[in-house]
Chain A
Amino acid sequence: MYSASDLKKGLRIKIDNEPYIVTEFNFVKPGKGQALYRSKLRNMITGAQFERTFRSVDSFEPADLQEKKMQYLYKEEGKYCFMDNESYEQVFLTEDQIGEAKKFLIDNLEAEILFFEDKPLEVSLPNFVDLVVVQAEPWARGDSVSGKTKPVTLQTGYQIQVPPFIEEGEKIRVDTRSGEYLTRVKE
């Protein structure tokens, strides 16, 4: 069971026996009033979105979903193919189902595929993925404390803001939930 204070972006809960995902979340408290948890929820089957405000006494069951670890193989005709490494079972997800994950999807990446009654619903990536910078402006040395950022392109084509000292060919760790740069990866 989850309580309202466990709510956060990405949490999947069950409402009326259907799986919902929290797509936006904020803790609010009107002057002298009670703590409220404003959430935007998306029905994971129908895609319908709505807003709901919870109180701290509200509680939720986790959504009835099965997760299976699968490996990303390839993209063909707008479908993304994933394979179960033990049973060799393959499933296909549509562009819509992949959504934002395509910014971070590299060959052979292991990800969780979510199923609701045998239907693949969506992919859930590891929180952190390491990607290679394929294009970046050179670093004007010494500029690491000005707080500036610069745009670079990653191997997936995703453009991201990074600190100025990141250079072409380096690998960086990206937080797949926020889409933001986290740190440099030394190999």
Chain B
Amino acid sequence: MIHGAVNISQGSRNEPPMEETWRLSKKKDTLWKRARMIHAIRNFFISRDYLEVETPNLIPVLIPESHIDAISCGDCFLHTSPELYMKRLLAAGYPRIFQICKCFREGERGLCHLPEFTMLEWYRQAIDYLPLMKECEELIISVARDLGYGDVIHYQGQTLRLQRPWESISVREAFALYGPMPMDKALKEDCFDEVMVSYIEPHLGFEQPTFIYDYPVSKATLAKAKEEEPDLAERFELYIGGKEIANACSELTDQNEHYIRFEKVQKYRRSMNKSVYPISERFLQDVVTMSAAAGIALGVDRLAMIFTDSPIIDSVVTFTPEFL
């Protein structure tokens, strides 16, 4: 068996230029397709009267998340998503906004993760998560058309149908169908994430894209709870080819509930010895004027993986952290 505990980058740092050129040049078709995909995304939103916005990447406050760590930069942080400032725009009366930007997350590196990645976020006033699901379908179908695909795309040997409606399944149903235990038991035994990764995700989005919805409230910091079932939140994820592509929710607009949930997250982070980031008081004040809205974050690199039939995220970006 071959072993090696040495970081791959050590062997690659001193490569002669010819090899580096060759490695990069292999990405040419993929990078062209990625660029066309991003262009198609912009066209979709502009044609629907969405305003493209840019919010600061270097920020002093963060929305607390149990499992997302920020990268510090001077006295500030690199944003982990543009959520906070896009919501402040929503609260100030911008009813339809979208943004495509780089986001930064400490320690995230895997086949589908980069510490610096590209996110698409869009927010829309006066709707909840269900119309957003529809809009998400429309976006991806529209992008597929612009890239020259018909009703099917091929990903890693699988044929995916894009005809609507797409499959949708609640988290509870998915646990019952694919999991070794019901959702509530997994929550109680603190293995929700493990079951999700090992049993549920491998079934999602293989014949057609799949929405999985109604997550436990404890797994959705800023999603509105369902009125008829307050243990569940109005949150969904889109999966294609077993990969999480987007995460969306009906936005929480109750100020008091924000305080309660933020405190819970901060307490958890403290208990895990993780950095506890400052919270934005301005944001919490703005929440008061925020009307009903839904928002969604979509991983642009992951969508590019699907459209370029790439098994790993490295293939769809120009440079990865190991080759800088």
Closest A residue by C-beta to B67? A34
In angstroms, Cα B6 to Cα A127, docked, is 8
In angstroms, Cα B312 to Cα A28, docked, is 13
Is the Cβ of A124 less than 8 Å from the Cβ of B1?
Answer: yes
| Contact of A147 (CB < 8 Å), options: B3, B26, B219 | B26
**B191: min CB distance to chain A, Å:** 9
Query: B107 contacts which chain A residues (CB < 8 A)?
Result: 5, 35
Is the Cβ of A32 less than 8 Å from the Cβ of B11?
Answer: no
Closest A residue by C-beta to B274? A56
In angstroms, Cα B16 to Cα A165, docked, is 13
Q: Is B314 an interface residue (CB 8 A)?
A: no
| Contact of B1 (CB < 8 Å), options: A21, A30, A35, A57 | A21
Closest A residue by C-beta to B221? A32
Is the Cβ of A177 less than 8 Å from the Cβ of B110?
Answer: no
Q: Is B227 an interface residue (CB 8 A)?
A: no
**B10: min CB distance to chain A, Å:** 8
| Interface size in chain A (residues, C-beta < 8 A) | 44
**B2: min CB distance to chain A, Å:** 5
Chain A residues 5 to 46 lying within 8 A of chain B, measured CB to CB, are 5, 8, 10-12, 21, 23, 26-36, 38, 42
Closest A residue by C-beta to B248? A31
Query: A51 contacts which chain B residues (CB < 8 A)?
Result: 198
Is the Cβ of B2 less than 8 Å from the Cβ of A26?
Answer: no
Query: A11 contacts which chain B residues (CB < 8 A)?
Result: 5
Closest A residue by C-beta to B191? A53
Is the Cβ of A100 less than 8 Å from the Cβ of B2?
Answer: yes
Query: A26 contacts which chain B residues (CB < 8 A)?
Result: 110-111
**B219: min CB distance to chain A, Å:** 6
Is the Cβ of A32 less than 8 Å from the Cβ of B247?
Answer: yes
Query: B4 contacts which chain A residues (CB < 8 A)?
Result: 10, 124, 127, 176-177
10 extra interchain contacts, Cβ-Cβ under 8 A, other than A28-B197, A183-B19, A184-B18? A11-B5, A27-B113, A30-B196, A33-B196, A57-B272, A122-B1, A124-B2, A127-B11, A144-B18, A182-B12
A-B contact pairs, 25 of them (CB 8 A): A5-B107, A10-B2, A12-B3, A26-B111, A27-B110, A29-B113, A30-B244, A32-B221, A33-B192, A33-B196, A33-B219, A35-B67, A35-B108, A38-B198, A57-B272, A101-B1, A124-B3, A127-B6, A163-B19, A175-B11, A176-B4, A182-B15, A182-B19, A183-B15, A184-B16
Q: Which 10 A-B pairs have the closest CB atoms?
A: A27-B110, A147-B26, A33-B193, A10-B3, A30-B196, A124-B3, A147-B25, A177-B4, A34-B67, A145-B25
Residue ranges of A at the interface with B (Cβ–Cβ < 8 Å): 5, 8, 10-12, 21, 23, 26-36, 38, 42, 51, 53, 57, 99-101, 122-125, 127-128, 144-147, 163, 165, 175-177, 182-184
Residue ranges of B at the interface with A (Cβ–Cβ < 8 Å): 1-6, 8, 11-12, 15-16, 18-19, 21-22, 25-28, 65-67, 107-113, 192-194, 196-198, 201, 215, 219-221, 237, 244, 247, 272
